[in-house]
Structure 1
């Protein structure tokens, strides 16, 4: 039901009409923040999108960063994450790609993480679950922690090079475009044996280069982790 708004008519008498005040609760505010995107997120932008006041937003969130943390929690929980199976390598690869989908879907998230602007409770829970799964696979505590941290960092670094505010129809392609702009003017400075690989890396799909990084990383983990189960 909307609230009844009273106003004066041209004759000086008061008339009434049914109005519908802007609706903004915690869920609507978080949804608006994700629609705007973390790279462009401000309290002003959210208030404008919802057609409400700043004071309404601050009734739910004390700051822009608190709102961003809540938005990231929602985004993390919305991603389909892998469950541990018999093969630890397959589990870690699937975890890396789940992180990729998260950062690809939400431009600006990598910058939020790398600059320590926020801590997402949902992301912390996800890191912990990955670490506990590694312990259950037979990794030692130190190696489980290192692998958990490094696989998350691997994905963050794939996205953090995106220029702030750089528009792109395909979010995952933005870091690749940024690297291309940085590397191409200097290609002649690289040894020819490296140049062809660099050209392929910056010219091809970003997912292909990321897949190679994940495979190399997992090869390194295999040298310290438990043996894979027999096929």
Structure 2
């Protein structure tokens, strides 16, 4: 009987030693957060994905929002950002589309930004870099700050309104469908010279309408350039 018990204990010990314990360091936690997506991010969801405990996560991040900020820092670094070059308009255009790629790559980020749930050090650094470049192009401090802020807002607004956490392509389809539902009953209330444009804006690719907005904005910026 004693030998039987001893064998069971030995077998149990051997089995425990053969199993690999869950691995979670700062890099793995951030990677898991990005895989889950900011819209669905919770400490519980990350712990479950990594097969570890909440206490392990809290050893690296004090809160869900602190983890989200670290995830955004990582996401910002993964995006290719433009260098100023010689042409302020080309630089701002490229900067706007870099922001677009950032929000398109990480559903839920726009909602995080507008609800002030987090501040990303790397995103702040990018905003500052844009502002400094504008100063070098000859814009005043006020104009540089306004332009930097409005470029960011222009992009963020394009990503609000869709169901959080869905792939960008699905968000676009859902947003287009909803906009059609809202605008179609009212089309006859618009001047006929505006109707076709409104239909195109609502049913076309969001990138195309964003490009028109960006061009109009930059035309206004050109009036302030020295």
Same fold per TM (> 0.5)? yes
Assess, with a 3 A threshold, how the Cα gap between structure 1 residues 45 and 134 changes in structure 2: closer, same or farther.
Answer: same
Assess, with a 3 A threshold, how the Cα gap between structure 1 residues 183 and 152 changes in structure 2: closer, same or farther.
Answer: same
Return the structure number with greater helix share: 2
Shift of 1:13: 3.1
SS in 1 for 2:20: coil
Q: Is residue 203 of structure 2 the alignment partner of residue 207 of structure 1?
A: no
Q: Which ranges of structure 2 fall in alignment gaps of 5 or more residues?
A: none
Which aligned pairs between 1:1-231 and structure 2 lie closer than 5 A?
Answer: 12-15=8-11, 16-17=14-15, 18-165=18-165, 167-168=166-167, 170=169, 173=172, 175-226=175-226
RMSD across aligned positions (CA): 2.0
Return the structure number with greater strand share: 1
Q: For 1:156-207, what per-residue CA distance to the aligned partner results, in whole angstroms no more than 9, with x for missing partners? A: 0110122335x34626625545534443443333332222111001111111
- Structure 2 CA distance for aligned equivalents of residues 9 and 145 of structure 1: 74
Assess, with a 3 A threshold, how the Cα gap between structure 1 residues 200 and 92 changes in structure 2: closer, same or farther.
Answer: same
Aligned residues of 2:162 and 2:171 also touching (Cα < 8 A): no
TM-score by length of 2: 0.90
Tell me how many residue pairs correspond in the alignment: 218
Q: Which ranges of structure 1 fall in alignment gaps of 5 or more residues?
A: 1-7, 227-231
**Alignment correspondent of 1:5:** none
- Structure 2 CA distance for aligned equivalents of residues 61 and 170 of structure 1: 32
- Structure 1 CA distance for aligned equivalents of residues 81 and 201 of structure 2: 27
SS in 2 for 1:13: helix
Shift of 1:45: 1.0
